[in-house]
A and B are shown apart, each in its own frame.
Chain A
């Protein structure tokens, strides 16, 4: 059974700080998703990656397949980045894209 663990569970930062959220998973996967969820809002996909690194604006996601580990980085954090960040693994084979989610990291960025 695939398990996905995130750390930290809660993260508080000052505006402008560099943020790192970590995600570990227990079995081989086809893709790792990073998602963002605002309070009372829906879930938005940030990244989907199967190897290497992706960058979008101030967000960077990396994955190490051998170590079964991924990180989400936010550079120059801003209060509007405050949200819950969730990683989710998508296994291959017959799993049909079924995602296994971490418990989420609650990020609060203070001005």
Chain B
């Protein structure tokens, strides 16, 4: 079966623009996570979905960031008024359930560059 997929793989945009990043989790995985990884750093948590609801969005840096998962499968991370500091690799991961002892399967990431 297919793993976690993310599109686009690369996104270059200009400061102030709006972007959407998509994540297709593994079928049947109820838990979905978004992380952000800056160059030379480990990933940082952004938001966690259990089913359709955002159970924990404490990692979103500010209100320019928003994510949805309307049908409990595909998720979209939306960034408004992009800033140069938003440049990073955005990673999506899914797991069967949301628990620390469940293996998380990561997508290849979307590299976002804000000029």
Contact = CB atoms under 8 A, between A and B. Distances in A.
Nearest to A94: B56
A103 interface: yes
B90 interface: no
B98 interface: yes
A50 interface: yes
Interface in A1-49: 4, 29-31, 33, 35, 41-45, 48
A4 B42 CA distance: 10
Interface in B72-109: 91, 93, 95, 97-109
Most chain A CB inside 10 Å of its own CB: which residue of B31, B40, B50, B104: B104
B115 interface: no
Given A42-B106, A92-B100, A104 B42 contact: yes
Interface stretch (A53-61, A70-78, A83-91): A83-91
Interface in B36-59: 40-45, 48, 50, 55-56, 59
A87 to B, nearest CB: 9
Interface residues of A, number: 28
A97 B99 contact: yes
Contacts of B99: 30, 90, 96-97
Contacts of B97: 97
A107 to B, nearest CB: 15
B41 A104 contact: yes
Contacts of A101: 35, 42-44
Given A99-B45, A101-B44, A103-B42, A91 B109 contact: no
24 contacts: A4-B42, A33-B103, A35-B106, A42-B91, A45-B104, A45-B106, A50-B101, A92-B100, A96-B48, A96-B50, A96-B99, A97-B97, A97-B99, A97-B100, A98-B48, A99-B43, A99-B45, A100-B45, A101-B35, A101-B42, A101-B43, A102-B42, A103-B41, A104-B41
